[in-house]
A and B are shown apart, each in its own frame.
Chain A
Amino acid sequence: MTHATRYPHIFEPLDLGFTTLKNRLLMGSMHTGLEDRVWTTTSWPLTSPSVRKAAWA
């Protein structure tokens, strides 16, 4: 069930002409101390919420 209607503006796609963004959220730039150790990127936990959720179910 989706409740996106509660936040219609947040979840409205944004058309950039050549590509479309799914929603209006941008994870802004921040230094994490991870990008400075690029050789560790193999262990980056870039698992999306949906994947993690699946792992939990």
Chain B
Amino acid sequence: MVTGGIAPNRRGSLAPLASKLTNRWEVLRHRKVTDAVHEHDGRICMQILHAGRYAYHPFSVAPSAIKAPINPFKPKALSSNGVENQIRDFVRCAKLAQAAGYDGVEVMGSEGYFINQFLVPRTNHRTDEWGGRFENRMKLPVEIVRRIREAVGREFIIIYRLSMLDMLADGNNREEVVQLGRAIEAAGATIINTGIGWHETRIPTIATSVPRAAFTWVTRMMRDAIDIPLVTTNRINMPDTAEAVLARGDADMISMARPFLADADWALKATEGRADEINTCIGCNQACLDHVFENKKASCLVNPRAGRETEIIIEKAGTKKRVAVVGGGMAGLSAATTAARRGHDVTLYEASDRIGGQFNMALRIPGKEEFVETIRYFQRQIELTGVEVKLDTKLSAGELARQRYNEVIVATGVKPRIPGIPGDDGPNVLSYAEVLAGNAEVGRKVAVIGAGGIGFDVSEYLLHDDVPLQPDPDDVSIEDFFAEWGVDMDFETRGGVDGIEPKRHEPAREIWMTQRKTSKPGKGLGKTTGWIHRTTLKNHGVKMLTGVDYRKIDDQGLHITIKDSDGNETEQLLDVDTVVLCTGQVSENALYNALKDAGQSVHLIGGAKLAAELDAKRAIEDGVRVAVEV
């Protein structure tokens, strides 16, 4: 294991009061962690992370006083003496980590943090011994590793996280990366870990749309030059993928972070041949990375107990009850399987012919293929926990009441909201649900009304023809992904991207995406993934209109009025063949109210309870929370 980043000094910390390890008094607190890991025969290294110009506070320091594009604070340039002090603090931090019982440290040299900032001219304009030619720029990490090794002795793991592919036009080239890797090995590192991209890189590195194991070729390129073990990483989430990466010799080890939030028993299930029981990380970032950016504790969309293991406890129920769950979407699946795990006798009613609810639509969006895994996970949990599933079954409140269930959990979900624009019931109008079901005819020119998460997803979907009904996450093409984002898989250019033109696929349709609000389209999308969706749509010619008033829809198309910032109004006709409504959804909660009136003990969860935005994170959490209480 490697811990989250711990700063070697106050200035290098990510944010005010973020964790640091700078004195003996702080050592005791770390002991609790290292003791707990060692009790179970694990090994744990502490990551030393100096944020440099990525520090979100006004006291940051960096090789040069150049502001990062993703941070409002401008760093102070270090004096030569100041650089020496930072190295000394890294060494002190490593020694304290050793005193705290860690088996080693990881020196964070990638993702655009402090050390990485020395390595490239973009952030290093120094004229002293730490700047100028590459030999000078790379001296900092080499000195840090060399002096840490000197201080900690031979029997202490030093992992160096090497930025192997900066994905910046002025990033390091292949020769420089190899040169640095060799020097790091010679300086005494035990293991080299892979770093991909900087935080300011505008190419996805870990999002759902990144194909599985997309970046292991980068680590592979280092293997001939480096003798110590290499770790590869990014979007490896299932044992078959991990095994294949190791078997073809791309690396000696696999690093995964989010997959262990999704399922802490990942390794156990793999050893016991139960890979089909793994709750798979879908790379959504919604409850892990996005939470951390919002200053909340990380959890996991598919596993709401992550980070809350002591708060949400799934125990055997005191009394076995007969429980009905109505609705086989995420909320219902999560409630049914959790309740059954607790020993209850659970029946799950689903009106359609399959479980999965809205996920059946989401998995058809190109780049969201991973969502099939969540449905597979719940399908397997149903089998394991003995939930009785009744598909194609819609019971009335009266029929349910007659079954005399002890508890009924209503997870009936949502239906698309119809906005009430004149003509929105016309033959050229479809809801997002009709489009994503895959059997409606959509014209070549399309207006998408609503630029929220669903509007973005539907637009992405409509850019393609022939989207498979049941995609396979292992079939997503790595070559196509890198071609689309302009990455050179031969790494013959600087940063792997310099001068490479992204290849657009021919968009299947001409799309206008409209919204009433004047704010930036997709403002509500995830903090760490919203830019990816915006970039993809823009690159494929989707036109985004804001401040739109909808007058009517007729056989000519969509008639709108656009208000600009000065309040001037222009009437416009979008002469589209099809109008797709992505105007939110409303809760399906009639059953709940009827059951309540009948005096049934009943609980309302998921979209049926609150339909503000389709929210799988809340749905799954609702399901678990209600199930631990019934």
A residues in contact (CB < 8 Å) with B: 1-4, 6-11, 14, 16, 18-19, 21-36, 38-39, 41-53
Q: Are A30 and B257 in contact (CB under 8 A)?
A: yes
Encode B31-50 as 1/0 by CB contact (under 8 A) with A: 01100110011110001010
Most buried by A among B2, B36, B231, B267: B267
Q: Kindly identify which residue among B4, B161, B239 contacts A31, using a CB–CB cutoff of 8 Å.
A: B4
Contact (Cβ within 8 A) A28 B272? no
A45 to B242, CA, bound (A): 26
Query: Do A45 and B4 touch (CB < 8 A)?
Result: no
Q: Bits for B251-267, please: 1 = Cβ < 8 Å to A, else 0.
A: 01111111011001101
Which B residues form the contact surface with A (CB < 8 A)? 1-6, 14, 17-19, 26, 29-30, 32-33, 36-37, 40-43, 47, 49, 103, 106, 108, 154-155, 157, 161, 190-191, 193, 229, 231, 233, 239, 242-243, 246-247, 252-258, 260-261, 264-265, 267-268, 270-273, 288, 291-292, 295-298, 307, 309-310
A21 to B157, CA, bound (A): 11
Count of A-B contacts judged by CB separation below 8 Å: 156
Also in contact, A42 and B32, with CB within 8 A (given A25-B267, A29-B3)? yes
- Which residue of the partner chain, among B49, B243, B309, contacts A45 with CB atoms under 8 Å? B309
How long is the Cα–Cα vector from A32 to B80 in the complex, in angstroms?
A: 34
Give the CA-CA distance A19 to B307 in the complex, in Å. 30
Given contacts A7-B270, A50-B268, contact A26 B255 (CB under 8 A): yes
Tell whether A27 pairs with B298 under 8 Å between CB atoms, given A41-B32, A43-B310. Answer: no
**A1 → chain B closest CB, angstroms:** 7
Q: Is the CB of B103 within 8 A of A19?
A: yes
Docked-complex contact B297 and A30, CB < 8 angstroms: no
| 8 Å CB contact of B233 from A2, A28, A47 | A28
Report the minimal beta-carbon distance from A4 to chain B, rounded to whole angstroms.
5
Interface of A is mostly: loop
**A23 to chain B: closest residue by CB:** B267
B residues within 8 A CB of A2? 271-272
Q: From the candidates B233, B253, B257, B264, name the one contacting A24 in the complex (CB within 8 A).
A: B253
Provide the residues of chain A in CB contact with B32, threshold 8 Å: 41-42, 44
Residues of A within 8 A of B108 (CB): 29
Expressed in whole angstroms, the minimum distance between the Cβ of B103 and any Cβ of chain A is 7
Q: Are B2 and A24 in contact (CB under 8 A)?
A: no
Question: Could you pull out 24 A-B pairs where Cβ atoms are within 8 angstroms?
Answer: A1-B272, A1-B273, A7-B242, A10-B239, A11-B270, A16-B157, A21-B253, A25-B242, A26-B193, A26-B254, A27-B2, A27-B255, A27-B257, A29-B47, A30-B298, A33-B291, A35-B3, A38-B30, A41-B29, A43-B310, A45-B309, A45-B310, A48-B40, A50-B268
Whole-angstrom distance from the CB of B96 to the nearest CB of chain A?
13
Inside 8 A of B42's CB, which chain A residues have their CB?
48
Q: Are B2 and A26 neighbours in the complex by a CB distance under 8 Å?
A: yes
Beta-carbon contact of A10 and B154 below 8 Å = no
Q: Which A residues are CB-close (under 8 A) to B6?
A: 35
Q: Are the CB atoms of A29 and B4 closer together than 8 Å?
A: yes
| Shortest beta-carbon distance from B438 to chain A in Å | 35
Query: Which residues does chain A contribute within 8 Å of B193, judged by CB atoms?
Result: 26, 28
B273 — which chain A residues lie within 8 A by C-beta?
1, 3, 6
B2 pairs with A53, CB closer than 8 A? no
Chain A contacts of B157 at CB under 8 A?
Answer: 16, 19
CA distance A3 to B273 in the complex (A): 5
Quote the shortest CB–CB distance from B11 to chain A (angstroms): 17
The chain A residue with its CB closest to the CB of B291 is A33
- Identify the closest chain A residue to B103 (Cβ): A19
Of chain B, the residue at the smallest CB distance from A35 is: B4
Residue of A nearest to B307 (CB): A32
Contact residues in B for A10 (Cβ distance below 8 Å): 239, 242-243, 246, 254, 270
Residues of A within 8 A of B103 (CB): 19
Inter-chain contact A3/B272, CB cutoff 8 Å:
yes
Q: Is the CB of A11 within 8 A of B271?
A: yes
The docked-state distance in angstroms from the alpha carbon of A42 to that of B100 is 16
**B36 in contact with A44 (CB, 8 Å):** yes
On whether A9 and B29 interact (CB within 8 A), knowing A31-B5, A33-B296, A35-B3, the answer reads: no
CB pair A28–B267 under 8 Å, yes or no, is: no
Is A22 a contact partner of B246 (Cβ separation < 8 A)? no
In the bound complex, how far is the Cα of B36 from the Cα of A48, in angstroms? 9
B3 engages A50 (CB within 8 Å): no
A27 x B260 contact (CB < 8 A):
yes
Instruction: Name B253's closest neighbour in chain A (CB-CB).
Output: A24
* B265 partner residues in chain A, CB cutoff 8 A: 49, 52-53
Residue of chain A at shortest CB distance from B228: A16
With A2-B272, A49-B268, A53-B268 as known contacts, state yes or no: A33 contacts B254, CB within 8 Å: no
Q: A1-B273, A7-B271, A34-B298 are in contact. List 17 more A-B contacts (CB 8 A).
A: A6-B273, A7-B243, A19-B155, A22-B41, A26-B1, A26-B2, A26-B255, A28-B255, A29-B2, A33-B291, A35-B4, A35-B5, A36-B17, A38-B30, A45-B309, A48-B40, A48-B42
CB distance from B24 to the nearest CB of A (A): 15
Given contacts A7-B243, A46-B33, A34 and B297 within 8 Å (CB-CB): yes
- The residue of chain A having its C-beta at the shortest distance from the C-beta of B1 within the complex is A27
Judge whether B292 and A28 touch: CB under 8 Å.
Answer: no
Residues of B within 8 A of A28 (CB): 2, 193, 233, 255-257
Contact of B19 among A35, A46, A47 (CB under 8 A): A35
Contacts of A38 in B (CB 8 A): 19, 26, 29-30
Chain A nearest Cβ from B197, distance in angstroms = 15
In the assembled complex, the Cα of A38 lies from the Cα of B20 at a distance in Å of 10
Q: How far is the CB of B585 from chain A (nearest CB, A)?
A: 30
Q: In whole angstroms, how far apart are the Cα atoms of A4 and B291 in the complex?
A: 35
A56 to B45, CA, bound (A): 30
Q: Which residues of A are found within 8 Å of B2, using beta-carbon distances?
A: 26-29
Report yes or no: A14 in contact with B19, Cβ–Cβ below 8 A: no
Partner of A26, one of B253, B288, B298: B253
- Chain B residues near A51 (CB-CB < 8 A): 40
**Complex Cα gap A2–B157 (Å):** 29
Query: CA A16 – CA B43 in complex, angstroms?
Result: 12
B309 touching A47 by the CB < 8 A rule? yes
